[in-house]
Chain A
Amino acid sequence: MPRLEVRDVTMQFPAVRALDGVSLSFEPGEVHGVVGENGAGKSTLMRILSGLQRPTSGQVLIDGAVVELHGVRHALSLGIAMIHQELDVIDDLTVAENVFLGSEPRRFGLVDKKAMNERTGELLQRVGAAFPPQTSVASLSIAGKQLVEIAKALSHEARALIMDEPTAVLTERETESLFRLIGELRAQGVTVIYISHRLAEVEQLCDRVTVLRDGRLVGTLDKGAFDLSQLARMMVGRELGDFYPDKRSPGEGRVVLEVKGAFVQGFASGVDLQVRAGEIVGLAGLVGSGRTELAEAIVGARKLSGGQIRVEGAVQSIGSVKKASKLGIAYVSEDRKNLGLVLGMDVIENTTLANLGAYCRPLISKKAERDATEAWKKELDVRAGDLRADILYLSGGNQQKVAVAKWLETRPKVLILDEPTRGVDVGAKREIYALIQRLADEGLACIVISSELPEIVGVCERVIVMREGRIAGELSGKEITEENIMLQAAGVAA
């Protein structure tokens, strides 16, 4: 009998169907990999299994019995625990306090520290941790914190452990010992559900692998019955249709931006990159591969600790977004709501914010501001009724257009777009792709950072793939396929 099972589970969100009739079972003592592109529905499935979210329809079964999970605590009490990518441990507490947080053993109404430390000690031994229960969590490495989380799950007698990208933040050696631990848990009959982008790891570790795509189950394969390129194909195989505009043939424009040996502490090292005028370059790679951090360092939003940046041939030191903007480099952030726009300000104020100087004569000319915003509204087809309304009330796609307009306002030479279509509906996506091409046609050098492979393949003429802070490869022309990108990004390319 499967330990954990979903039957015909569907999750409908207002704009998107994240899961569509997925049925899947997880056996006791099995390590089961779940892979898929961003947006394939992995996270939603895990949220449902760990009690964070209830499916629109369909059933969850534990040991063959249908259950309705009321929340994380409820799932935990039934033996299902999730280890999130962003670890949930509290730095200010000790290891034992973290492990027993919310379920501290009591004696005469007080926390029984002795029993708590003893039991934590046993759990730590089980997960192979070398530190004592009284250690302050703040002093632990990421790997150590992960062990604390696993110990915590085991303290609830977890029989199914869901791990979301557990190795994303681990070194090679830490990864090895994690795999050893997973092997031991498997031997003890624990079900491990292992979500990862790293196909090589999945192949090495998992007894079975399930592939999700666009919210649907593509298939479940047994160990030995698949190879990596087959997995990659299953993950991305889809028809692109004429969703993307025809590819342009890039002219040989002059090199506008050149990055040499860029080093960003903890995120990127030795990155070389150049973009020509009129070119659309894709920057691909898994989440966490350092793409965004590299871009932020280029525009001075993050410290560039090493390397050189040349703008139109001249070496520049860029310490702030303001300086970058002056040099003609614009960055549209992936985090639209927190970094890309100022919520609380209206459409006009957001549009002119990065180029406000142009409207000061010397006082701000509200009329000039409005005229310019109207012009962008027309040019980019921004659907906003009242330009004096808080930008918050615009849809994702229209917000994104304003974020782009804000930077086009500065007449940049280089435009870096980070996840330009995240949270944007299909229609607006198309318009944004067309816009990127039009801008490139006008001679703008564009860098498109995206986790959506079809987007990279559909829009870019040249693709640079990053992996773990380094350049894993470069593709151009016909080489640009989702499969090739995925293989390089996952580090399995020859």
Chain B
Amino acid sequence: MRKFLQEYGVLVAFVVLLAINVATRGESFLQAENVRNLLSQNAYVGIIAIGMTFVVMTAGIDLSVGSMVAVCGAACVLVLNKQAGGGASDSAAIFAAFFGAVGVGTLAGALNGVTIAYGKVAPFVVTLAGLAAFRSIALVLGEGGEIRSEVLSFQDIGFGGIDVPFLRTAVGQPLTIYWSLFAFLAVALLASFVLNTTRFGRYVIAVGANERAAKYSAINAQTVKVAAYTMLGALVGLAGFLNAARMNSVGTGSAGTFYELDAIAAVVIGGTSLRGGKGRIWGTVVGVVLLTLISNMMTAFRIDTNWQGLVRGGVILVAVLLQRGSKASE
């Protein structure tokens, strides 16, 4: 039983919460629109959490992702406006903006990774510095406020998607599955593929489980770490791009705030060990949905939002307590 909980605790918690929701507000909870929202609401955090899973598996952490979302968003909208202003077509401008966001994210992630791996500074410290610095860069770019997109069709990426046949929203519109949700799922699938069947994935596990032993096994641990942070950076860029598209602007002071906490929480709830070497992508995905489910529930039950943090905190602690043991007892 204990072993089962350690392994599948997050699924059990998810099923229990689901059951409570279905039992108490079956009809409205199971409405297609609510389910869609549940899954898409945290897609940005989800994309980041997937990348974070790799970083945490190397026994690292990245606190700078929230601020990175703001920088990437800022870069994205600035490139967009510049391209559009320079006479490029909307789609070409959006294309360029995408590369702007992902490029900046990749660069920022690589910077984190290189400082950690070659500078031998603790990940916590390096990315804490990033948390402050990247936000500041975003604010400078946005002159302290919002950067608005001048391309209206940019928002189509944020609200666009694929309509589900026969399903309608409460107001009779067709039900759209947003691109961001597709992106989240695609990233998750790809990531679990990378983790399980590529050399990089195997090396991430080895480096996280025992960095010195990995080095003694002819693995370049530094490269592996840089790659993990860089990959996370690129995913943050993607999240920043989608986030900006949804808002059709970027609030340089507010975009991505606390994303780092949500992403790390999802990773931990999903059963990835903060000590590294052990982790799973599906756990992170469930962790992300679980966190959304909790806030969704609290809103539905009209619980004062001031209580939400307390509940989230409790869930994180319980998840970690349940999954402890196997490593601690070694």
Task: Mark interface residues in A358-374 (1 if CB within 8 Å of B CB, else 0).
Answer: 00101110100000000
Tell me which of B199, B210, B216 contacts A301 (CB under 8 A).
Answer: B216
Closest to A320 in B: B220
Q: Are B220 and A342 in contact (CB under 8 A)?
A: no
| Chain B residues closer than 8 Å to A356, beta-carbon distance | 199, 202-203
Min distance, Cβ A277 to any Cβ of chain B, angstroms? 22
| Chain A residues closer than 8 Å to B215, beta-carbon distance | 301, 320-321
Tell me which of A339, A344, A349, A362 contacts B216 (CB under 8 A).
Answer: A339
Q: In the complex, A360→B202 CA distance in Å?
A: 11
Q: In the complex, A320→B202 CA distance in Å?
A: 19
Known: A344-B209, A345-B209, A392-B330. A333 touches B216 (CB 8 A): yes
Task: Mark interface residues in B193-234 (1 if CB within 8 Å of A CB, else 0).
Answer: 000011100110110011011111111100000000000000
Does B277 sit within 8 A of A, measured CB to CB?
A: yes
| Chain B residues closer than 8 Å to A237, beta-carbon distance | none
| Chain B residues closer than 8 Å to A325, beta-carbon distance | 218
Classify chain B's interface size.
20 to 34
| Chain B residues closer than 8 Å to A340, beta-carbon distance | 213, 216
Does B278 sit within 8 A of A, measured CB to CB?
A: yes
Min distance, Cβ A479 to any Cβ of chain B, angstroms? 34
Apart from A331-B216, A339-B213, list 17 A-B contacts with CB within 8 A.
A301-B216, A320-B215, A321-B218, A322-B218, A338-B210, A338-B213, A339-B212, A340-B213, A342-B209, A343-B213, A344-B277, A349-B202, A353-B206, A353-B217, A354-B219, A364-B198, A406-B217
| Chain B residues closer than 8 Å to A353, beta-carbon distance | 202, 206, 214, 217-219
Q: Are B218 and A342 in contact (CB under 8 A)?
A: no
Does A357 sit within 8 A of B, measured CB to CB?
A: yes
Tell me which of A331, A343, A354, A364 contacts B209 (CB under 8 A).
Answer: A343
> Which positions in B face A, CB cutoff 8 Å?
197-199, 202-203, 205-206, 209-210, 212-220, 277-278, 330
Min distance, Cβ A222 to any Cβ of chain B, angstroms? 47
Q: Are B205 and A354 in contact (CB under 8 A)?
A: no
Does A38 sit within 8 A of B, measured CB to CB?
A: no
Known: A353-B206, A392-B330. A342 touches B199 (CB 8 A): no
Q: Are A322 and B220 in contact (CB under 8 A)?
A: yes
Q: In the complex, A322→B217 CA distance in Å?
A: 7
Task: Mark interface residues in A329-343 (1 if CB within 8 Å of B CB, else 0).
Answer: 001010000111111
Does A25 sit within 8 A of B, measured CB to CB?
A: no
Does A410 sit within 8 A of B, measured CB to CB?
A: yes
Tell me which of A324, A342, A364 contacts B214 (CB under 8 A).
Answer: A342
| Chain B residues closer than 8 Å to A338, beta-carbon distance | 210, 212-213
Q: In the complex, A354→B202 CA distance in Å?
A: 11
